């Protein structure tokens, strides 16, 4: 199946700093990528849909100025958590849609963000 | 709005025993249903999906699921569990959102432990 990578896998930062998370589709082009957030013992919550070359579509309740998404190429989407605070600590997961396989979503391994 | 309920947070089975993971959904129209597995350090992997047709769906790794509209359920089954099946399992419903995209809503997951 298609492979999606995320970098970094784990990041610890101080409160007030910004953190960038990368999501890459390694062997296919993805016009659409998705960003999810997963709290412990909770389900994945869709944060936003990232479309190559256009603005991301954010889900209700997600602050677009805090979670900046850029999808500048067909293989890369980035999520920047700006001015991170401890409540932003979470597991962030991206997925990429592969049109070659019925638009199935392939998921990255996730990024564990800890804000001190 | 759609929702997914996985009643069992944690299930423990012996290796070789049969397995059934429960999933109930709420959705106003014909649902598109998915089961994913998440292993530590790995991205979510699609086990199987139901769009239409035969209500008994076969997936990878020996898993199957049965769609029961009258019960709003999509339970995952495996006749004989292997130790490598220990992981977190997520049920998801995804109405078609156009352009070949499915916007996934996930359940909270069921953690499966396997006793050797």
Closest among B102, B100, B110 to B30, alpha carbons compared: B102
Per residue in B8-61, pLDDT (tens digit) is 999 999 999 999 999 999 987 778 899 999 988 778 899 999 988 889 999 999
What are the counts of helices (DSSP H) followed by strands (DSSP E) for chain A?
A: 0, 11
Q: Which pLDDT band holds residue B96 (cuts at 50, 70, 90)?
A: low
Quote the pLDDT of residue B99: 53
pLDDT at residue B102, rounded to an integer: 66
- Within 10 angstroms of residue A66's Cβ, the number of other Cβ atoms is 14
Cross-chain residue pair B43–A106, CB shorter than 8 Å:
yes
Tally helices (H) and strands (E) across chain B: 0, 12
pLDDT(B93) > 70: yes
Which residues in chain B are closer than 8 Å to A106, comparing Cβ atoms?
43
B100: pLDDT strictly greater than 60: no
**Structure tokens given for B5:** 């309920």
- Other CB atoms closer than 10 Å to residue A23's CB: what's the count? 28
CB-CB neighbours of B15 under 10 Å = 14
Nearest CA of chain A to the CA of B84: how many Å?
18
Interface list for chain B against chain A, based on CB atoms closer than 8 Å: 4, 9, 36, 41-46, 90, 99-109
CB B20 within 8 A of CB B65: no
Instruction: Average pLDDT across each block of 10 residues of chain A; the chain has 116 residues. List them in order.
Output: 91 97 94 90 88 89 94 93 96 90 85 96
d(CA A19, CA A115) in angstroms, rounded, equals: 10
**CA B93 – CA A43 distance, rounded (Å):** 12
- Specify the residue for token string 């004989």: B80
User: Helices in chain A by DSSP H: which ranges?
Assistant: none
- What pLDDT score was predicted for residue B30? 74
Q: Largest alpha-carbon pair distance within chain B?
A: 45
- Measured between beta carbons, the chain B residues lying within 8 angstroms of A99 are 100
Provide the shortest C-alpha distance from residue B103 to chain A (in Å).
8
Lookup result for tokens 């890459």: A24
Beta bridge partners of B28: none
A107: β partners: A95
Contact between residue A45 and residue A116 where contact means Cβ atoms under 8 Å apart: no
Tokens at A71, concatenated = 């999808």
Q: Which of A32, A43, A110 sits opposite B106 (nearest CB)?
A: A43
Q: Which residue of A44, A97, A112 to mutate against B (max B Cβ within 10 Å)?
A: A44
What is the tens place of the pLDDT at every residue in B55-82? 999 999 999 999 999 999 999 999 999 9
- Tokens for A52? 């190559």
Query: CB burial class (10 A; 0-12, 13-18, 19+) of residue B13?
Result: middle
């Amino acid at each position: 199946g298609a492979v999606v990578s995320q970098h970094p896998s784990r990041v610890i930062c101080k409160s007030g700093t910004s953190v960038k998370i990368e999501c890459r589709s390694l062997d296919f082009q993805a016009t659409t990528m998705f960003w999810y957030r997963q709290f412990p013992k909770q389900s994945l919550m869709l944060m936003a849909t990232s479309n190559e070359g256009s603005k991301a579509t954010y889900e209700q309740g997600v602050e677009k100025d805090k979670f900046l998404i850029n999808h500048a190429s067909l293989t890369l989407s980035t999520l920047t958590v700006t001015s991170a605070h401890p409540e932003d600590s979470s597991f962030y997961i991206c997925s990429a849609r592969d049109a070659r396989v019925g638009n199935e979503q392939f998921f990255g391994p996730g990024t564990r963000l800890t804000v001190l | 709005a759609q929702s997914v309920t996985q009643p069992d947070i944690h299930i423990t089975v012996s290796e070789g025993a049969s397995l059934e993971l429960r999933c109930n959904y709420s959705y106003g129209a014909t649902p598109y249903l998915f089961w994913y597995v998440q292993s530590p350090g790995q991205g979510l992997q699609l086990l199987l999906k139901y769009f239409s047709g035969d209500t008994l769906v076969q997936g990878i790794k020996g898993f199957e699921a049965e769609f029961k509209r009258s019960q709003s359920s999509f339970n995952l089954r495996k006749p004989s569990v292997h130790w490598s099946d220990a992981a977190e399992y997520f049920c998801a419903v995804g109405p078609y959102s156009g352009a070949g995209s499915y916007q996934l809503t996930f359940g909270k997951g069921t953690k499966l432990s396997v006793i050797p």
